[in-house]
A and B are shown apart, each in its own frame.
Chain A
Amino acid sequence: MAYTKLKCDAAALEALIDADDDRQANDALLEHVEQCESCQRRLANLAAEDPMWDRANRAFASRAQSTVDEIAPPLAAANRFRITADDSPQWTEAMARQLLAAPSHPEMLGRLGRYEVERLLGAGGMGIVFKAFDTELNRPVAIKLLSPHLARSRSARERFAREARAAAGIVDDHVVPIHNVESDAESPYLVMQYVAGGSLQDRLNRDANLDLCEILRIGLQTARGLAAAHAQGLIHRDVKPSNVLLDEDVSRAMLTDFGLARADDDQQLTQTGFHPGTPQYMSPEQVRGEALDGRSDLFSLGCLLHALCTGEPPFRGKGSFATLRMVADADAPSIRDQRPALPRWLERIVLRLLEKQPGDRFQSATQVADLLESCLAHVRNPATVALPAALQTSRQGSGRIPRKRWWIAGGWLGPALLLATITIIIETKDRKVTVQVDEESGKVIQVDAPEEPAGEITAGDAALPQLAAAQDNDSVAVVYLIHAAEFKRGNTIQQLAVTRALGEFRDQDYCGFLAYQRGGPQWLWEGNQGMSRTREQDKVQLFQRIKDALPGDLPSFDPALQMALASLEAVDAAQRRLIVLTDGDPVLLDASILDEYQQAGIAIDVIHTEIHEPKYRQAPELIAGRTGGKYHRVGRGQLDQAIAKLLVARTRDCIASAAAPSGDRATED
């Protein structure tokens, strides 16, 4: 027989199963394998050991052949996180027609409620935009319809409705007004003013060399629109020429598409995805995935101004990846290299907007708009209107517009900035010290104390002794409340231990907070695993009891209580001001508790990290408000236990170093 002529050849078998399908065994080998059981076994074993074959059998047994194709159905959330995926559909009028009711007139595309839809204007990641006619009010409108594949998703619908609400809340000449929102429709849509002139991108495509007045006018009007949005606490996040519409009749630029805009008070909804489109107008902090504030929009505005001057955005790499790297790392190119006729001061304004660090840019859209407006007045009438002083002073040399420390210049930016950093405010009898701590690293970024010499302050840990110095002779208390769920898994044993311990001491009225005092015992307690919803009240009673016990009659069994006493003294010494880090648990909301704090004269500064549902959001803010403290919010999940610990530990270090003799301070590291 043929196979006897052929010897078993393991290497040949191995090579063949490793090869692609276009390489097949020759007939002789096929014949050999058909006859040779040992080669049949060998083929199986070369592919995988028996247990793996068995596992494959088990894993696939539950999958009928037909379902293999359906496995891993594309899920909205997965697509959002995929780096390479871009499956936004390309809409055609024929497709769009299917979303609409039949038109009343044959020349129309279709009908949507009382709107006769004329044609498709465009499509983005989120929706489709039509030009339509409002039959009741007899005017042309633009309608943005949520894409049907998103209309099924509750979160997408919510986000769409939120966009409508957000944008509708901005009334400004330079923001496209929202007329109407239909959020209950099968596919929700919003109705906007129809702006006839097309987008700024269309304009740039036609004419890459706008004259100086046009550059300034469009730049200033876009900045005005942004200022209006920022005033509502909204960050646009997608400022680019295609999102600026030009009303040619009245020479007006109007900002549109608040689809990505986010207010700092709705973390949850805004995590819904969108397609990134061009990264060329993203800010470095967006690219790095960092926390954002209005100054991110100012960077994008800088890109837009650059495009107004030269026809192209400043950062253009080969492909998204290269572009993103440039946004993050590369110096902005000069506009005057491409258009030397443009004034130097304009270039300085653009470069200032394109600073990588938000703190180095202009600090508000209003500031930019005002500046551009003055420039425009100057250009139109150079004889009678002088260039703004800030631009004149740095006319010679490469001097930039003088920077201000942002928290002084910040204006409305104040609260938003807290999202990137944690601010600890320590108020004492005659001083107020503000410490900015970077959320990610826990490093102290800035210390703002009255005694500081003017000018730039060194960032980093070197600032700690300064803080300590400012703190000298004062005390501070930090109370730290955090939900038990913040215990990371892996700490389960510890979690249980804490729980049990608290259970045992249940009647002793204390739980769940940390307090620190200079020179005293540092840790009071950690976590509030054992704290039920009524426990916060217990804690206030504890405070009261400690106060009552102040002469020294402390229960001896309870070292923690003694620490609580120490912390209370610290609170008193720090002018009855507590800094509370909290996850916003509703236990804090009890009115009687607030009264107690109020009566005790303790103001509570609340740093609130959101991990709970929106309905719990009011509590921390109320606490701060009712007790006369300050309220800050940090992003969901941004302030985890580790960071909070670090923060607290640093505060403790500061206090400890303040307690040390002043000679030692220099050696503090």
Chain B
Amino acid sequence: MPASPTETRVSLILRLQDMADVEAWDEFVELYTPVIQRVAKQRGMQPADADNLVQQVMLKVAQSISAWLDREDRGPFRAWLVRIARNESIDLLTRRTTKGLGVTGDEANAAWENAKQADQIATFIDREYEQAVFDWAAQQVRQTVQPQTWLAFWLTHVDGLSVQQAAERLNVRTANIYFGRSRVMLRLRELIQQYED
């Protein structure tokens, strides 16, 4: 019988000798779960089924790690994780929707529909993934900077306040806003780029 998540998790620790890879796995789980979840929701799945889908994708990915480790030319672990999770998600979602189509007999068209759906899912996943990366990076950065540094970024760049308005709101000098938001953006960019190679 296949390994349970805990056994999977434990075996991952053993296989990923590089502690950085173990951390990358944890980050990946944190990051990718909401992506799969939102995709599942968008496909009209119930929360319990979404949870199940997350689980299936994670198990599939975990099972593939050995193959990645065996590869001579393996690239960064993170990038590989994201790629394979994307493929597995599409695979599982298309498999799900095509079940039972065989009855009508028009399999060629069904497969064609299938491929089109896969493209739609892929687009949605990519968009949600970008969103998730930014969300994740935002969470990380918020933990490392002071609240008003974060707000310097958020108020001016997201909420659309002017630098002057933000400075008044936070009761700091305008230059602090310039510094603060760049501080945030620099950290965001560094984190996001890790996931985009």
Q: A60-B154, A71-B34 are in contact. Are A267 and B108 (CB under 8 A)?
A: no
A265's closest neighbor in chain B, by CB? B1
Contact of B34 among A18, A73, A292 (CB under 8 A): A73
Tell me the smallest distance from the CB of A506 to a CB of chain B, in Å: 8
The residue from B2, B34, B184 contacting A637, defined by CB atoms under 8 A apart: B2
Interface check B132, CB cutoff 8 A: yes
- Whether the pair A270, B13 counts as a contact (CB closer than 8 A) is no
Are B55 and A635 neighbours in the complex by a CB distance under 8 Å? no
**Looking at the complex, which one of A56, A155, A274 makes contact with B6 (CB distance below 8 Å)?**
A274
Chain B residues, Cβ within 8 Å of A274: 4, 6
**Bound-state Cα–Cα, A81 to B183, Å:** 33
Q: Which residues of B contact A414 (CB under 8 A)?
A: none
Contact residues, B25-83 vs A (CB, 8 A): 25-26, 29-31, 33-34, 37, 48, 51-52, 54-55, 58-60, 62-63, 66
Q: Is the CB of A56 within 8 A of B188?
A: yes
Please tell me if the beta carbons of B7 and A286 are within 8 angstroms of each other in the complex. Answer: yes
Q: Which of the candidate stretches A365-373, A492-500, A563-571 sits at the interface with the other chain?
A: A492-500
Q: Decide if B4 touches A31 in the complex (CB within 8 Å).
A: no
**Which residues of chain A (12-31) have a CB below 8 Å from chain B?**
16-18, 20-21, 24-25, 29-31
Residues of A with C-beta under 8 A to B22: 83
Cross-interface CB contact of A325 among B14, B60, B105, B154, cutoff 8 Å: B14
Q: Which of B99, B102, B179, B184 sits near A33, CB closer than 8 Å? A: B179
The CA-CA distance from A637 to B146 in the complex, in Å, is 47
Interface 0/1 of A253-285, CB less than 8 Å to B: 000000010101001001111111001001000
Given A21-B146, A68-B142, A496-B115, are A78 and B30 neighbors across the interface (CB < 8 Å)? yes
* Least distance between A413 CB and chain B CB atoms (Å): 13
Q: Is B158 an interface residue (CB 8 A)?
A: yes
List B contacts of A279 (CB < 8 A): 10
**Chain B binding surface, main DSSP class:** helix
Name which residue of chain A comes closest to B35, CB basis.
A72
Q: Which residue in chain B gives the minimum CB-CB distance to A65?
A: B154
Residue of A56, A320, A492, A502 touching B115 (CB-CB under 8 A): A492
Residues of B within 8 A of A53 (CB): 157, 185
A95 within 8 A of B: no
Are the CB atoms of A499 and B107 closer together than 8 Å? Answer: yes
Residue of B nearest to A32 (CB): B175
Partner of A48 from the list B29, B135, B189 (CB cut-off 8 Å) is B189
Residues of B within 8 A of A529 (CB): 107, 111
Question: Which among A31, A61, A290 is the interface contact of B158 at CB below 8 angstroms?
Answer: A61
Q: Which residues of A contact B10 (CB under 8 A)?
A: 276, 279, 282, 286-287, 289, 320, 324
Say whether, besides A68-B139, A499-B107, A75 and B182 are in contact (CB < 8 Å). no
Closest to A60 in B: B158
Point out which of B90, B115, B182 has the most chain A C-beta atoms below 10 A from its C-beta. Answer: B182
Interface size on B, residues (CB 8 A): 84
Instruction: Name the contact of B182 in the complex, choosing from A17, A30, A287 (C-beta under 8 A).
Output: A17
Picked from B33, B91, B104, the residue with its CB within 8 Å of the CB of A488 is B91
Q: Which residues of A lie under 8 Å from residue B176 when comparing CB positions?
A: 24, 30
CB closest chain-B residue, reference A271: B55
Q: Which of B6, B110, B146 has the most CB of A within 10 A?
A: B6
Given contacts A33-B179, A34-B175, A82-B9, contact A72 B132 (CB under 8 A): yes
A20 CB to nearest chain B CB (Å): 8
Q: Are B107 and A502 in contact (CB under 8 A)?
A: yes
Q: How far is the CA of A65 from the CA of B66 in the complex (A)?
A: 41
| CA gap between A40 and B181 in the complex, in Å | 11
Residues of A within 8 A of B184 (CB): 47
Contact of B13 among A46, A59, A321, A533 (CB under 8 A): A321
**Chain A hits for B146, CB < 8 A:** 21
Collect the chain A residues with CB atoms within 8 Å of residue B12's CB.
Answer: 83, 289
Is B20's beta carbon under 8 Å from chain A? Answer: no
Among candidates A75, A325, A500, A637, residue contacting B51 with C-beta atoms closer than 8 Å: A75
The contact size tier of chain A is: 35 or more
B145-189 contacts to A (CB < 8 Å): 145-146, 149, 154, 157-159, 173-176, 178-179, 181-186, 188-189
Q: Which residues of A contact B136 (CB under 8 A)?
A: 71-72
Report if A63 contacts B (CB, 8 A): yes
Q: With A57-B158, A78-B29, A502-B107 in contact, is A489–B118 under 8 Å at CB?
A: yes
User: Given the complex, which residues of B lie within 8 Å of A532, measured CB to CB?
Assistant: 102-105, 107
User: Chain A nearest CB: distance from B26 CB in Å?
Assistant: 5
Chain A contacts of B104 at CB under 8 A?
532
Q: For residue A274, which residue of chain B has the nearest CB?
A: B6
**A289, B7: Cβ atoms under 8 Å?**
yes
Distance of A57 Cα from B158 Cα, bound (Å): 6
- List which A495-520 residues lie within 8 A (CB) of chain B: 495-496, 499-500, 502-503
Given A80-B6, A637-B60: A499 touches B108 (CB 8 Å cut-off):
yes
- Flag if A77 contacts B173 (CB, 8 Å): no
Quote the shortest CB–CB distance from B86 to chain A (angstroms). 9
A291 at the interface (CB under 8 A from B): yes
The docked-state distance in angstroms from the alpha carbon of A70 to that of B46 is 20
A321-B12 Cα distance, complex, nearest whole Å = 11
Q: Quick one: closest A residue to B193, CB to CB?
A: A52
Residues of chain B lying within 8 A (CB to CB) of residue A73: 34
A321 to B3, CA, bound (A): 18
Tell me whether B91 and A56 are in contact (CB under 8 A): no
B98 within 8 A of A: yes
Q: Please tell me if the beta carbons of A496 and B175 are within 8 angstroms of each other in the complex.
A: no
Contact of B1 among A57, A154, A282, A291 (CB under 8 A): A291
Identify which of residues 232-258 in chain A touch chain B, using a CB-to-CB cut-off of 8 Å.
235, 237
The complex places the Cα of A264 from the Cα of B157 at a distance, in Å, of 55
- A60 touching B138 by the CB < 8 A rule? yes
Tell me whether A78 and B134 are in contact (CB under 8 A): no
- Cα–Cα, bound, A82→B33 (Å): 11
Distance A62 CA – B158 CA, assembled complex (angstroms): 9
Query: Complex Cα distance A31/B173, Å?
Result: 9
Interface residues of B (CB under 8 A from A): 1-14, 22, 25-26, 29-31, 33-34, 37, 48, 51-52, 54-55, 58-60, 62-63, 66, 87, 90-91, 94-95, 98-99, 102-105, 107-108, 110-112, 115, 118, 130-132, 134-136, 138-139, 142, 144-146, 149, 154, 157-159, 173-176, 178-179, 181-186, 188-189, 192
Given A282-B10, A289-B7, 17 more A-B residue pairs with CB atoms under 8 Å apart are: A43-B179, A43-B182, A52-B192, A59-B131, A60-B138, A61-B158, A72-B136, A153-B51, A273-B6, A291-B3, A292-B3, A328-B14, A484-B111, A485-B94, A499-B107, A529-B107, A529-B111
| A-B CB proximity, top 9 nearest | A289-B11, A59-B134, A47-B185, A78-B33, A30-B175, A77-B54, A47-B182, A289-B3, A485-B95
Question: Which residues in A have some Cβ–Cβ distance to B below 8 Å?
Answer: 16-18, 20-21, 24-25, 29-31, 33-34, 40, 43-44, 46-48, 52-53, 55-57, 59-63, 65, 68, 71-73, 75-78, 80-85, 153-155, 235, 237, 260, 262, 264, 267, 270-276, 279, 282, 286-292, 320-321, 324-325, 328, 419, 440, 484-485, 488-490, 492, 495-496, 499-500, 502-503, 529-533, 635-638
A–B complex contacts, Cβ < 8 Å, 16 sampled: A34-B178, A44-B178, A44-B181, A52-B192, A59-B130, A59-B134, A155-B48, A264-B1, A267-B1, A267-B2, A272-B55, A289-B7, A488-B91, A496-B111, A533-B102, A637-B59
